[in-house]
Amino acid sequence: MSDWRRLFGLLTGQRRLLLAGIALATLVILANVALMGLSGWFITSMALAGLGRVAIDFFAPAAGIRGLAIVRSVGRYLERLVTHDATLRVLATLRVDFYTRLIPLAPARLQPFRTADLLSRMRADIDTLDNFYLRVLVPVAAAALSLVAIECFVAGFSPVVALVSLLGLLGAGVVLPLLAFSLGRATGHARLAALATLRTTAADSVRGLGELWVYRASAAAASRIAAQSARLIGAQRADAIRDAVADAIAGLLTHLTVWATLIVAIPLVSAQAISGPVLAMLVFLVIASFEAVAPLPAAFRALAETRAAARRVFEIIDAEPAVAEPVTPVAVPSRFDVTWQGVTMHYDTSPAPALDGLDLSVPAGQALALVGPSGAGKTSLINTLLRFWPIEAGRVMIGGVAVDAMSGTALRGLTMVVAQRTHLFNASVAANLRLAHPTADEATLWSALSGVGLAERVAALSHGLATPLGENGARLSGGERRRLAIARAILADAPILILDEPTEGLDAETEADVLAYLATLMAGRTTILVSHRPAALRLVDEIALIEAGRVVERVPRAAAARGNARFWRYLRLL
């Protein structure tokens, strides 16, 4: 399906509003042209009446002029209201659809994209698509409809004048816009690419401003932004020059057409085929009709940028998730042991397998720790359980049911995750907690906070549960953010608990507090712990060592405590 057809398809949901907008825009153009033509006729007729040449009814044309002025003003207001309302509705629907399609792509299919680039696509690129309706479709449709009516009216007085006017309008309204589109295609893509790169670089620089300051690299970052800004300004300058040239040519075509109209129409006055006031009316009609096509060259030039933005949006919408949802999902299992049988998987960034025929099982209600060198496959193991990445061979099962046979929603309803970097949104404490339990009342939220020792801390905040946490939980310390993540897991109340480096980066005292809360949360749940902290390993029943995507050692914690297990070389003893 072509990009243009897809853009038209986006508009179908608001068809009535869109057609109403085109109708109102056409009415405004016709009212404006009629106002100009009637004014020209009226002024000339009044001048001739003053010389005693003709007698006219003053009141009817004066009332017509006032009525047309009112229709033009009210119609323009309604046209802006309707067209912008329709456009914003379409863009809002598209933005929700974009985000809905984005969710199942995470994290595997989103690896090639930077976060700031995805945000730019969802906000700026979708906003750019308003050009298609507001600046192209409505003006083109309204100009076409109104010019047909205008030319038919002019032809009733003089077919030759209508032909001259039509030729000028085709030059300004068809040839010039198509030329602008052809010339603007390359710079449109370049401009959008430069703008996307600048947004991404600026966002990354702001996010890493602390590191840039510490390592005295802020000047280099500013230079990169300045260079990218210069490239963007260069593309914008080229577009501005083209727009100026197009405006000048359109103005020239308007004047040439007016002169041609006078040359053709003056002999008609001499031959008494038309009157002097009609001549003035025709000239004013020609001048006003060019206003209908004046915006089209710039609009068509912007089409290239609009098309590039559409392709960036459709690239995400059309992307297939790395793991497809089952056609007929099976019911969730009644028991919650976890098993990996001969599991092999690769990442696109490495030819070596992340997991190489791995076999592992965790009995229901038991806790297993995963240790090993960086890149050994510990996180990959969790990714396959959560079905974030596809496997090439083997099976991952919960309670004997393959995870790829369950729906993603059902699967993640069986698991809860406490990670080293749990994201906290710039929202209230309550909103962050309700991610795990959307219908939880305040009593339930306070109970979860009490379970991790945060109730007093949150109660002391300015607005309690309604207090915004700031960017990534800036109001809380590192240990408090980790405990809030545990409270979120308590609210989820899932039978399988995944702990990915939950105490990494914490001091010994804070780590002891967090582990105490985790021990309560782990009770009776199937738990998978990724950690190299000896204090955390005391909570598990068994420890498995993973190297090169395989389990090379598995020992009970009691045996491992004697210090003769291979995995000890990966730990720092306290």
Q: Which residues contact 561 (CB under 8 A, 6 or more apart)?
A: none
**Mean per-residue pLDDT, 326-346:** 90
* Secondary structure of 333-379 in HEC code, one letter for each residue: CCCCCEEEEEEEECCCCCCCCCEEEEEEEECCCCEEEEECCCCCCHH
Phi first, then psi, for residue 36 (nearest 5°) are -65, -45
Strands (DSSP E) contained in 21-159 are none
Token pair listed for 112: 């090639």
Residue 522: pLDDT over 70: yes
Q: What is the pLDDT of residue 193?
A: 80
- Looking at residue 572, its pLDDT comes to 45
As a whole number of angstroms, the distance between CA 172 and CA 249 comes to 8
Q: At what angle do helices 176-207 and 218-270 cross, to 10 degrees?
A: 160
Q: Output the 3-class SS for 56-89.
A: CCCHHHHHHHHHHHHHHHHHHHHHHHHHHHHHHH
What value does the mean pLDDT of the chain take?
A: 85
The pLDDT tens digits for 439-457 are 989 999 999 888 888 888 8
Coil, strand or helix at 544 = strand
- The confidence score (pLDDT) of residue 78 equals 93
Contact 385, 415 (CB under 8 A): yes
The first and second tokens of residue 274, run together, are 């038309």
User: What's the pLDDT at 20?
Assistant: 92
- CB burial of 68-82 (b: ≥16 within 10 Å; e: otherwise) equals beebbeebbebbeeb
Q: In this predicted model, what pLDDT tens digit does every residue of 151-198 receive, in sequence order?
A: 899 898 889 989 999 999 888 888 888 887 777 776 777 777 888 888
Tokens read off for 16: 């009535």
Give the tens place of pLDDT for each residue, 10-58: 888 888 888 999 999 999 999 998 999 888 888 888 887 776 666 667 7
Cα dihedral sign, 537-541-545-550: negative
Residues 296/139, Cβ–Cβ less than 8 Å: yes
Contact call for residues 541 and 370 (beta carbons, < 8 A): no
Instruction: Give the H or E element holding residue 264.
Output: helix 218-270
**Is CATH 1.10.10.60 what the domain over 338-570 is classified as, yes or no?**
no
Residue whose C-alpha is closest to residue 95's, from 128, 64, 140, 67 = 128
What is the domain partition of the chain in residue ranges? 3-317, 338-570
- Give backbone dihedrals phi and psi of 571, rounded to 5 degrees, phi first: -110, 150
- pLDDT at position 567 is 63
| Helical ranges in 271-327 per DSSP H | 276-293, 296-317
In angstroms, rounded to a whole number, what is the distance separating the alpha carbons of residues 33 and 165? 14
Q: How far apart are CA 103 and CA 368, in angstroms?
A: 30
User: Residue 326 is encoded by which pair of tokens?
Assistant: 């089952």
Checking if the pLDDT of 272 tops 90, the result is no
Three-class secondary structure of residue 554 per DSSP:
strand
- The pLDDT of residue 566 is 66
Q: With 60 as the cut, is the pLDDT of residue 102 above it?
A: yes
Name the DSSP letter for residue 175: I
Residue with tokens 């390359």: 186
Q: Structure pTM?
A: 0.77
How many whole angstroms separate alpha carbon 362 and alpha carbon 366?
Answer: 7
Which H or E run includes 530?
strand 526-530
395 falls in which pLDDT band (50, 70, 90)?
Answer: very high
- Which H or E run contains 449? helix 442-451
SS3 category, 500: strand
What DSSP character marks residue 466?
G
Residue 487: which of 511, 458, 513, 452 has the closest Cα? 452
Q: What is the pLDDT of residue 568?
A: 63
Q: For residue 574, what pLDDT is reported? A: 31
Task: Tell me what percent of the residues of the chain surpass a pLDDT of 70.
Answer: 95
Least confident interval from 86-100, 500-514, 526-540? 500-514
Cα dist from 62 to 29, 34, 67, whole Å: 20, 13, 9
CATH architecture, domain defined by 3-317: Up-down Bundle (1.20)
Lowest mean pLDDT among 98-107, 205-214, 278-287, 446-455: 205-214
Cβ neighbours for 315, distance < 8 A, ≥ 6 positions apart: none
Q: Are 445 and 465 in contact (CB under 8 A)?
A: yes
pLDDT at 564 (0 to 100): 60
Structure tokens, 327: 């056609």
398 and 336 in contact (C-beta within 8 Å)? yes
